[in-house]
Amino acid sequence: MSEDILQRQKKLQDYLNRTPFADFIGFKCEIMGDEMTAILPFEEKIIGNPSIRALHGGATGAFLELTAMAQLFLLSDEVSLAKPINLTIDYLRQAKAENLYARATVTKQGRRIANVHAEAWQSERARPVATLSAHFLLGNGE
Amino acid sequence: MTENPDFFDLIRQYAPNIINKVPYANTLGFELVDLEPGKAIARAPYKPETIGDIETGIIHGGVVTALLDNVSGVSVIAALSEMKSTATLDLRIDYMRPAEVGRDIIAEAECYHMTRTVAFTRAWAYHESRDRVIATASGSFALNTIKGFPANTGEGS
């Protein structure tokens, strides 16, 4: 890591502030050193099943994807968010009509490709509602 | 998978709700385009507020994820021979090429195998045809019998 972590934090926050989709789903994050906790505040519009008041799998998935991209950005020298190559989302429990939290771990960061895992939870950290495993293309998409 | 034409008629009436009455799908402007037994096609319009890359104007992959998840769930419903609720177990997405700026995304899904408790799907997202896909998906869905259907409607994905 050639840049100062504080600079990266600022760059990440700036980048997220300028990304319409992050604003659209209401993505927020708290950055502590090189670790970030992402927050998706509950809103009616991210409901997927009105009869049981469950969040949409696509909203949970997009949130995890953005969390993974943000954490990777924080730990790299990239100028923009990395492009996803593929991702797998495991839905473990029903996500309730409540805030969603997530953290991501960069498992491997190569020269071209990075592997990232992320976990989302609600009221209990030890009971994740969904996990994500993804590969991203580094080198700013070239 | 057993085919039951009368039941499929019921599904045909009910299926648009799985997109139209789902708040998140509504917010993103998804619409159901076509439905056949075990198959579904849906469309996501290009919306500037869902841009994920400010330099290029390309929409965020999360929109494609949501569309593929939703349309895969609908293909499962379209393959049922009795009413059951569906819940996504897992979804894998491979991104082949970026979506083009300003164009709608079409996604088609098929439910290619079903047991009493689990359904398996494949899906493709593209602008024009499967020859130039933006992303592909494979998913599995847990199935649960709904007591008292049709009183209970509005299952999401």
Burial of B25 (0-12, 13-18, 19+ CB in 10 A): buried
Contact between B90 and A90 using a beta-carbon 8 Å cutoff: yes
Nearest CA distance, B135 vs chain A (angstrom): 9
Residue B157 predicted with pLDDT over 80: no
Contact between A19 and B51 using a beta-carbon 8 Å cutoff: yes
pLDDT value at residue B55: 86
Helix ranges (DSSP H) in A2-142:
5-17, 20-25, 57-75
For B54-99, the three-class secondary structure string (H helix, E strand, C coil) is CCCCEECHHHHHHHHHHHHHHHHHCCCCCCEEEEEEEEEEEECCCC
Question: Rounded to an integer, what distance in angstroms lies between the CA atom of residue A137 and that of residue B138?
Answer: 21
Residue B152 predicted with pLDDT over 50: no
Contact status of A140 with chain B (Cβ, < 8 Å): no
Nearest CA distance, B12 vs chain A (angstrom): 19
CATH code 1.10.1370.40 for A3-137? no
Contact between A23 and B49 using a beta-carbon 8 Å cutoff: yes
Contact between B21 and A23 using a beta-carbon 8 Å cutoff: no
Task: Tell me the per-residue pLDDT of B35-47, one tens digit each, with 9 for 90 and over.
Answer: 999 999 999 999 9
ipTM, two decimals, is 0.90
pLDDT confidence of B156, banded at 50, 70, 90? very low
Using an 8 Å Cβ cutoff, are B77 and B11 in contact? yes
Nearest CA distance, A33 vs chain B (angstrom): 25
pLDDT value at residue A47: 93
pLDDT value at residue B151: 46
Contact between A56 and B59 using a beta-carbon 8 Å cutoff: no
Tokens 């708290």 identify what position?
A30
Task: Tell me the per-residue pLDDT of B54-77, one tens digit each, with 9 for 90 and over.
Answer: 889 999 999 999 999 999 999 999
- The domains of chain A are located at 3-137
In the chain, the amino acid numbered B150 is P
Task: Tell me the per-residue pLDDT of A26-76, one tens digit each, with 9 for 90 and over.
Answer: 999 999 989 999 999 999 999 998 889 999 999 999 999 999 999 999 999
pLDDT value at residue B1: 55
pLDDT value at residue A79: 85
Question: Rounded to an integer, what distance in angstroms lies between the CA atom of residue B140 and that of residue B123?
Answer: 11
Burial of A133 (0-12, 13-18, 19+ CB in 10 A): middle
Task: Tell me the per-residue pLDDT of B77-94, one tens digit each, with 9 for 90 and over.
Answer: 999 999 898 899 999 999
Who among A48, A66, A90 is closest to B22 (CB)? A48
Contact between A56 and B49 using a beta-carbon 8 Å cutoff: no
Q: In this structure, what token pair is assigned to residue B148?
A: 């008292």
pLDDT value at residue A114: 97
Q: Which residues of B touch A63 (CB under 8 A)?
A: 62
Nearest CA distance, B31 vs chain A (angstrom): 14
pLDDT confidence of A134, banded at 50, 70, 90? very high
Cis peptide before B150 (omega within 30 of 0): yes
Contact between B49 and A24 using a beta-carbon 8 Å cutoff: yes
Share of chain A above pLDDT 90, in %: 82
With b for 16 or more beta-carbon neighbours within 10 A and e for fewer, the A29-38 pattern comes to bebeeeebeb
**CA B43 from centroid of its chain's CA atoms:** 9
